[in-house]
Chains A and B, each alone.
Chain A
Amino acid sequence: MTKRALLLLPALLLLGGCESMMPKMPEPWVKPYERHYLADPIMSFERDPVAAGFMNHVYEARESARGAEGGSGGGCGCN
């Protein structure tokens, strides 16, 4: 019985059974036509992957810390 009630719960929610108590979700606050500054190449974290990858390789070879470099990381496969 409990299992059947749990299975029915999502369906009830989809029908709006709890609409009144739902917190209001934020809308995406930056519209596509407002992204001209962000589309500028100078706003990318790393414009050139080949150069950023090399710097991460230098840091990883000379420093003990590693990882969380963002899109240009991933390890150097070297000793």
Chain B
Amino acid sequence: MALKVGREAAVAVTKKFRESYCALAKFLLCSVFLASTAQAAVLPEERFDTLYHSYSGGGVTIDGPSILVRKNVGNNVSLSANYYVDMISGASIDVRTTASRYTEERDEFSVGADYLVEKTTMSLSYTNSSENDYQAETVGFGISQDFFGDLSTLSMRATFGSDDVMRNGDDEFLEHAEHRRYSLGWTQILTTKLIAELSVETVADEGFLNNPYRSVRYLDPSSALGFSYQAELYPTTRNSDAVALRAKYRLPYRAAIKTEYRHYVDSWGITADNLEFRYTHPLESENLILEGKLRFYKQKGADFYSDLFPYVDATNFRARDKELSDYSDIAIGIGVTYLVPDRWALFDRKNTLNLYWDYMMFDYENFNNVEVHSGGGDYLPGEEPAYNFNAHVVRAYWSMWF
């Protein structure tokens, strides 16, 4: 009897294994068949973009140009180059309260190549970022594959970054950091009007990860204000994971809505979520595309963050960077794209003029505004009002397709 039961169980297991194996084999065969019969993927569009960007808020203005060119070489290769500049003026609250300006300009230059074979696109990229106290180089490799009748695209990307960190006014100071990023994306056409994308990315940092100028404050009864400052000290590793789901839907009339949600968690104890809605509405008779955006972001700060430490060297690691605190921000954005009519089009090409404006409102929960002391305010350390500020983000650009 026991032998019979055992034999039946073995048959059942074998059957289940065969069914699973057959399903897997059929999926692989179908994928190979679809990959070999459906139409090939295409290279990115050939285009030229000239952008002026500006971020202004919290006493800081960062602006500059960005130029992006993408051109095909033959039928299978697309080359791209990007030059980007951040020019920084003014001083953020960190700089104002501890009097240590840390950078004035960042130049970034990137080149990339995409190679298309049938339904597979392979890409290589190199980026060099240069500041007077920070040098960074990043190389990347990516591959994407269309399949399932071109309804699905699977993409993978890996980048490796190597940074040298310096400190102005201290010629002896030289530190190093490395960054590895691995991302995976699945884009899926769901219906004739709906497309979705699932993205995951893990990032591993190692080395000197804090800002060499920024300080934390701690209670110091011997100080006139009741607190003093000492240098930040971060862990030398940071690992993070992010997963995002975004979808775009074509409405019954010619307009589209986009929604996006991302969840983030890292080894410093930071968790964050952001949610975005976007509405795109063309006005065909006026050659315009209008866009509106609403975005929410909320994070729980790092485990080693504190607005006010109880005494000097209170913890192994310490930070008072407001970007590592508990806070939220809300952004609203509007923009317009103008498709230049053929009679005015430069070089008889498709041209667009674009202007986009975002307004971001940052609201910190445990990063206090220490500037109230310089304004004559009578606050005990740690009882200052929480800091908040608003920022304007502008993108004005001209695009031309070859």
Contact = CB atoms under 8 A, between A and B. Distances in A.
Given A28-B151, A64-B299, A54 B53 contact: yes
A25 interface: yes
B199 A69 contact: yes
Contacts of A78: 86, 106, 108, 129, 131, 134, 136
B358 A68 contact: no
A73 B157 CA distance: 10
A65 B242 contact: yes
A75 B181 contact: yes
A74 to B, nearest CB: 6
A77 B395 contact: no
A68 B373 CA distance: 41
Interface residues of A, number: 51
A18 interface: yes
Contact of A70 (B66, B197, B266): B197
Interface string B235-264: 000001111101010100011101000101
B397 interface: yes
Interface residues of B, number: 99
The CB with the most chain A CB atoms within 10 A, among B161, B183, B243, B393, is that of: B183
A68 B53 contact: no
Interface of B: 18-19, 21-23, 25-27, 29-30, 34, 38-39, 49, 51, 53, 55, 66, 68, 82, 84, 86, 106, 108, 125, 127-129, 131, 134, 136-138, 140, 148-151, 155, 157, 159, 161, 163, 165, 179, 181, 183, 185, 189, 191-193, 195, 197, 199-203, 211, 240-244, 246, 248, 250, 254-256, 258, 262, 264, 266, 270, 272, 274, 280, 282, 289, 297, 299, 301-302, 323-324, 329, 337, 354, 356, 358, 360, 362, 391, 393, 395, 397, 399
A18 B68 contact: no
B66 to A, nearest CB: 6
A48 B354 contact: yes
Contact of A66 (B140, B199, B242, B248): B242
A62 B354 contact: no
